[in-house]
Amino acid sequence: MFPVARAAQSLVARRIQHTAVRQAHRKHEPTFHDKYGTTALLGGAAVFLSVWGYVLTQLKIEWGFSPVGRVTPREWRE
């Protein structure tokens, strides 16, 4: 191996080891996502499913069907 490449490789390895040691000694403080991430995700999924469940079952929307032949005009009032 060339001396320059060997020096670069050892420098990179030393930097990685230094970073790993520094992060290992630091206390991990929970973030918002650590505390509430799963709860927020499940809550959002529940709201999403309940809203779309209501839309698809209660609003009587006929998806993709043509109204031709189904809609009849009302009698005109005079």
Count: domains in the chain: 1
- For 2-71, the three-class secondary structure string (H helix, E strand, C coil) is CHHHHHHHHHHHHHHHHHHHHHHHCCCCCCHHHHHHHHHHHHHHHHHHHHHHHHHHHCCCCCCCCCCCCC
Instruction: For residue 2, give its domain range.
Output: 1-26+36-59
Residue 15 lies in a domain: yes
User: Is residue 40 included in any domain, yes or no?
Assistant: yes
What does the pLDDT look like over 2-15, one tens digit per residue? 777 777 777 777 88
Q: pLDDT grade, residue 30 (50/70/90)?
A: confident
The predicted pLDDT at position 63 comes to 67
pLDDT in tens, 60-74: 766 666 667 667 777
- Please indicate, yes or no, if residue 12 is contained in any of the structural domains: yes
Average pLDDT, the chain: 80
Structural domain contains residue 17: yes
Question: Residues 61, 55: contact at Cβ < 8 Å?
Answer: yes
